[in-house]
Chain A
Amino acid sequence: MVDKAAIGAVGEPFVVDVERGKIHEFARATKSQHGGYFSSPNPRVPPTFLTTQFFWEELVPGANPWDRVAMSQERGMHAEQEYVFHGPPPKAGDRLYAQSRIEDIFEKQGRRGGTLTFAVMVTEFRDADGRLVAEARLTGVETAKPPEGTG
């Protein structure tokens, strides 16, 4: 059951090192045909690559505030995901300084009845000068009954 008190929860800061090997592995796993991911010494990241933030976030206790949302494992699913780059995407060799927060929790009536509860977590990625490089916005939804499928 989602806990609305999680709104505004902020995780501990964490560092993300953008690695060439990880870009290669991720591009292959998502079936890219762009040769630059595999041949360039410092490729830019694929569009959804920053999902790998979780490798880095789990190294830092308290970095991931999503647990505070307390979404049901059986009735929760990934509804939407967005990545914004404020300029060219990060590239291999970049070090990003990241922090996640619970931006919002809200309810909507489902089409087939029952209340849907949405929770939004935003992660900001900055460079060493503090400039905002990228943002990730994860939206999860908890249904009143078990979902038919999840992301």
Chain B
Amino acid sequence: MTLLDWKEAVCGAQPDARHLGPLTRTDFVRYQGASGDMNPIHHDEPFAVAAGFDGPLGVGMFPAGALANLAADWIGPDRVRRTKVRWKAPVWAGDMLALSGEIVSRDDDGKTVDVELVCKNQDEVVTCQVWMTFAFGDVA
């Protein structure tokens, strides 16, 4: 995959949208093993039901990580300088998620761009938002 170069990194530029899903419990378990967050609410059905949910709740950091990767895979992991995530709604096994984003500002002096990303489920509900800053000037 060819990374975006500075000329192309203009306001309004967008990576190809990605779709995740239908999400599975295996997705959640794989993420939990990778991240170290073993909260049983995300994989243990009796535990989740006892807590008042219909079933295991998705791990919020999983789609958030996938959303941040959409921009990092496009612009380059070396250029990431800041990633901020805010959660708006839970995700569940079976959900179909649409991941999209665009460059919203460009600083020609500092050679940085800001990207806003959003994850929506099959009902168009925003489940999380991500804001990132990428630097083109000081890549080692």
A associates with B: yes
Name A residues whose Cβ lies closer than 8 Å to a Cβ of B.
Answer: 22, 25-37, 43-48, 51-52, 54-55, 58, 74, 77-89, 146, 148-151
B33 to chain A, nearest CB (A): 7
Contacts of B82 in A (CB 8 A): 82-85
B22 close to chain A: CB less than 8 A: no
Whether B61 and A151, one on each chain, are in contact in the complex, defined by CB atoms closer than 8 angstroms, is yes
Are B132 and A47 in touch, CB under 8 angstroms?
A: yes
Determine whether the beta carbon of A89 is less than 8 Å from that of B80.
yes
Instruction: Decide yes or no whether B6 CB sits under 8 A from chain A.
Output: no
Whether A79 contacts B86 by the Cβ 8 Å rule is: yes
The interface size bin for chain B is 35 or more
By the criterion CB–CB under 8 Å, are A29 and B85 in contact?
A: no
Question: Does B61 contact A78, Cβ atoms closer than 8 Å?
Answer: yes
Interface string of B26-54 (1 = CB under 8 A from A): 01001101111100010000000001100
B60 proximity list for chain A (CB < 8 A): 78, 149-151
Residues 53 to 102 of chain B near chain A (Cβ within 8 Å): 57, 59-62, 64-66, 68-69, 71-73, 77-87, 89-91
CB contacts (< 8 Å) of B30 on chain A: these are 28-29
Given A47-B77, A150-B41, A80 contacting B85 (CB threshold 8 A)? yes
Name the residue of chain B whose CB is nearest to the CB of A57.
Answer: B36
Contacts of B65 in A (CB 8 A): 26, 29-30, 46-48, 51
Whether A81 lies near B61 (C-beta < 8 A) is yes
Q: B72 contacts A33, CB within 8 Å?
A: no
Contact B52 A54, beta carbon cutoff 8 Å: no
Q: When chains A and B are docked, how far (Å) is the Cα of A31 from the Cα of B24?
A: 13
Q: Which of B57, B83, B138 contacts A47 (CB 8 A)?
A: B83
Specify which of A58, A81, A85, A148 is in contact with B80 (CB 8 Å cutoff).
Answer: A85
B77 touches which one: A22, A36, A81 (CB < 8 A)?
A36
- CB contacts (< 8 Å) of B33 on chain A: these are 25, 29
A sample of 13 cross-chain residue pairs with beta-carbon separation below 8 angstroms, ordered by A number, consists of A22-B34, A29-B62, A32-B66, A46-B77, A48-B65, A51-B35, A54-B36, A74-B51, A79-B86, A80-B86, A82-B83, A83-B82, A151-B61
